[in-house]
């Protein structure tokens, strides 16, 4: 009986250890570590201290989506980025660039998965605001302590970053990127007067 109890206890310990280890691995791969600086958000801590390129693609996509949700809420990153040292800022910028690349490529795939031009236009309309949000962390002015570009002008920052992606792509991917950017530019120009009227309270 004592031997059976010992075996059961050992089995339970192994099971608990395995569950804890799996949770720890999942947290490391996906996740958001505890920040050593209580004034710094966990996401900024992650992007300034870990190389996301060392994570699997699905983990990078998860962090990219988390970052985009924060951008959608209008999170102000300027004060926190200013507090990073040079090495942390460089890591932050490199990581954000990689996460933006994933977000852009996913949107390009999404655009070409639409069945007709009407659906493609509706798809682009849904993406424009999210793409503008990325300018808040991709704008190089942010690294110089300047306020990020916002509003329709922020699409200029996005087009510049997608142009970099275009130069790095193979020929087939370049054609897809070029078509997506052209369609996005046209859609953004069509919507710009309406957005300006809303912004100015017309």
- Tokens 């970052």 found at: 67
Dist CA 202 CA 196 (whole Å): 8
Q: What is the DSSP string of 160-180?
A: HHHHHHHHHS-HHHHHHHHHH
**Residue 10 confidence (pLDDT) above 80:** no
- pLDDT for the residue 99: 92
The candidate with the shortest Cα–Cα distance to 141, out of 153, 131, 130, 129, is 153
Dist CA 188 CA 190 (whole Å): 5
- pLDDT for the residue 119: 95
- pLDDT for the residue 158: 82
Model pLDDT for residues 29-69, shown as the tens digit of each residue: 445 444 455 566 888 889 999 999 899 999 999 999 999 98
The candidate with the shortest Cα–Cα distance to 187, out of 111, 102, 97, 113, is 111
Dist CA 193 CA 149 (whole Å): 18
- pLDDT for the residue 18: 39
**Residue 190 confidence (pLDDT) above 50:** yes
Q: Which two tokens stand for residue 72?
A: 């959608």
- pLDDT for the residue 57: 92
Reported as a pLDDT band with limits 50, 70 and 90, residue 1 is: low
**Is 138:68 a contact under the CB 8 Å cutoff?**
no
Model pLDDT for residues 105-134, shown as the tens digit of each residue: 999 999 999 999 999 999 999 888 888 888
- pLDDT for the residue 202: 27
**Is 70:32 a contact under the CB 8 Å cutoff?**
no
**Residue 25 confidence (pLDDT) above 70:** no
Categorise residue 69: left if φ over 0, alpha if ψ from -120 to 50, beta otherwise: alpha
**Residue 141 confidence (pLDDT) above 80:** no
Q: Which of 33-47, 98-112, 145-159, 169-183 has the lowest mean pLDDT?
A: 145-159
Measured in degrees and rounded to the nearest 5, phi and psi for residue 148 equal -65, 150
Contacts of 188 (CB under 8 A, 6+ apart): 128, 152, 155
pTM of the model: 0.70
The candidate with the shortest Cα–Cα distance to 48, out of 64, 35, 29, is 35
């Amino acid at each position: 009986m004592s031997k059976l109890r010992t075996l059961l206890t050992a089995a339970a310990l192994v099971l608990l250890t395995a569950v804890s280890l799996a949770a720890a691995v999942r947290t490391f791969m996906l996740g958001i570590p505890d920040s050593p600086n209580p004034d710094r958000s966990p996401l900024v801590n992650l992007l300034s201290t870990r190389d996301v390129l060392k994570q699997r693609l699905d983990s990078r996509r998860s962090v990219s989506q988390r970052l985009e949700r924060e951008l959608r809420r209008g999170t102000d990153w300027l004060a926190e980025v200013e507090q990073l040292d040079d090495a942390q800022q460089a890591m932050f910028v490199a990581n954000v660039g990689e996460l933006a690349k994933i977000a852009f490529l996913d949107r390009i795939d999404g655009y070409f998965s639409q069945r007709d031009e009407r659906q493609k236009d509706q798809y682009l309309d849904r993406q424009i605001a999210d793409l503008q949000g990325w300018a808040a962390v991709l704008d190089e002015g942010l690294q110089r302590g300047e306020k990020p570009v916002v509003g329709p002008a922020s699409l200029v920052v996005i087009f510049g970053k997608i142009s970099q992606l275009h130069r790095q792509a193979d020929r087939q991917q370049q054609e897809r990127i070029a078509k997506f950017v052209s369609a996005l530019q046209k859609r953004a120009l069509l919507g710009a007067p309406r957005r300006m009227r809303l912004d100015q309270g017309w």
